[in-house]
Amino acid sequence: MKIRNGFVSNSSSSSFIIQKKDITVEQMDKIKDHIKYARNNFSQISNAEYEWEWGIEYKKNEIILSTWMDNFDMELFLDLIGINKEKIKIGK
């Protein structure tokens, strides 16, 4: 949870970087279709969170997930699909 003093905005940005070698092809497919997969498989992620899809950039050796409107709980999603938290680099 983010707590701010002063001006509060509904928008924020987040990013995660995952090395391709650290995930399976199945996990990569789930990330690609994260909203559809979460909606069909995880009641822990509320329906309100499905409005904003994360951007996915595929680099040679890594996947970069980013958003400017952090309404989808990507950290929870990555945990639920079995990606080791120690393998995720959190960016700003």
Condensed to tens digits (0 to 9), the pLDDT of residues 23-57 reads 999 999 999 999 889 888 988 876 655 667 788 99
Q: Residue 56 corresponds to which tokens in the numbers above?
A: 């996915």
3-class SS at 78? helix
Q: Residue 3 corresponds to which tokens in the numbers above?
A: 């707590």
Q: Where are the alpha helices (DSSP H) in 8-89?
A: 25-32, 34-41, 74-80
In a domain, 7, yes or no: no
For residue 12, name the pLDDT band (cuts at 50, 70, 90). low
In a domain, 16, yes or no: no
pTM of the model: 0.68
How much is the average pLDDT of 58-82? 87
Q: What residues make up the domain containing 75?
A: 23-91
Measured distance CA(90)–CA(17) in Å, rounded: 6
Kindly state the DSSP code that residue 43 receives in the 8-state scheme: T
Contact residues for 3 (Cβ-Cβ < 8 A; gap 6+): none
How many structural domains are present in the chain? 1
